[in-house]
Amino acid sequence: MRTTDSAAAADFLALCRQLTALGEGGPGIEEVHASRGVAFGDFDNDGDLDILIMNQNEPPSLLRNDVSGDYHWLKVKLVGTKSNRSAIGATVVASYGGKKQAQAVMAQSSYLSVSDRRLHFGLGAAAAADLEIRWPNGARETIPQVAAGQLVTVQEGAGVVKRERL
């Protein structure tokens, strides 16, 4: 993968080499392509993020995440009712273990790419998170102590309407 940000590329390559040295990188992570876009998402629904890279004049590269570990994650899917149904423009702030992490639902993420609209929060050792949702129309909603290891669907104004173990 090539990027126009040389510092970010150097960091990414260093991470790739560390993963390869640990036997966790796989052969695809160090392949060189002329790439234009990237999308992040859990294509195989196993709870971790995978990466799809759009290459120039070549098929895309799918980097499947097979790293295992004991850390927790939480996925959040938003469904707008008063706001747009895809909840594009909404932000979710997850608070856990004294930390905060914010993510937004976006219509696109990179050149000719769109990431999974199910927001993915890595929670580390925390087994639950408090969620604050800021809907595109300005409304706010809080959902305390959402357990890790699941995909929750939150409908605007109705809270969690579905819980799925992946």
Footprint on this chain of Ca ion (rule: CB under 5 A)? 42, 44, 46, 48, 50, 65
Of residues 48 and 156, the one with the C-beta less far from Ca ion = 48
Of residues 1 and 75, the one with the C-beta less far from Ca ion = 75
Please say whether the beta carbons of 148 and 74 come within 8 A.
Answer: yes
Tokens 């909404």, residue located = 90
Of residues 27 and 98, the one with the C-beta less far from Ca ion = 27
Q: How far is the CB of 68 from Ca ion (least distance, A)?
A: 8
Q: How far is the CB of 44 from Ca ion (least distance, A)?
A: 5
Q: Which residue is nearest to Ca ion (CB)?
A: 42
Which of 96, 157, 88 lies closest to 121 in space, CA to CA? 96
Please say whether the beta carbons of 159 and 141 come within 8 A.
Answer: yes
Of residues 93 and 166, the one with the C-beta less far from Ca ion = 166
For every residue of 35-76, DSSP letters joined together read EEEEEEE-TT-SSS-EEEEEETTSPPEEE------S-EEEEE
Q: How far is the CB of 121 from Ca ion (least distance, A)?
A: 14
Q: How far is the CB of 6 from Ca ion (least distance, A)?
A: 29
* 160 vs 165: CA distance, rounded Å: 14
